[in-house]
Amino acid sequence: MKVLSSPDIITQPSENGLCLLHAIRGECHILNNAAAFLWETLEEHSQQSKDGLTPEELAKKLSEKYNISYDNALTDVETFLSDAISLGIITTLSES
């Protein structure tokens, strides 16, 4: 699975992370710093390319950013993605 940030999201930095506003649904979601890093990584990649990132690619970046083990980072990424998919703030792509 590969993922991209949804183009329907407006972001606003907050004191403890990032606030995401779903422009169509009118929903606001607050992300902690680690989740905000993942979102910003996805958003930046989505603006440059439409091929998405895999959970493993995100975990590698999270592991490097926060100096945590890859396995811990992957668990955090999988949790983030599960929540983000259910909230409609990211788009999943099937790998070809």
Question: Which stretches does DSSP call E strand in 15-52?
Answer: 17-22, 27-31
Q: What is the pLDDT of residues 38-75, one digit of tens each?
A: 999 999 998 888 888 999 999 999 999 999 999 999 99
Q: Exposed, middle or buried, 89 (CB in 10 Å: 0-12/13-18/19+)?
A: buried
End-to-end CA distance of the chain: 10
Break the chain into its structural domains and give their ranges. Answer: 2-93
- DSSP reduced 3-state for 89: coil
Give the Cβ contact number of residue 57 at 10 Å: 15
Top-tier CATH class for 2-93? alpha beta
The mean pLDDT value of the chain amounts to 92
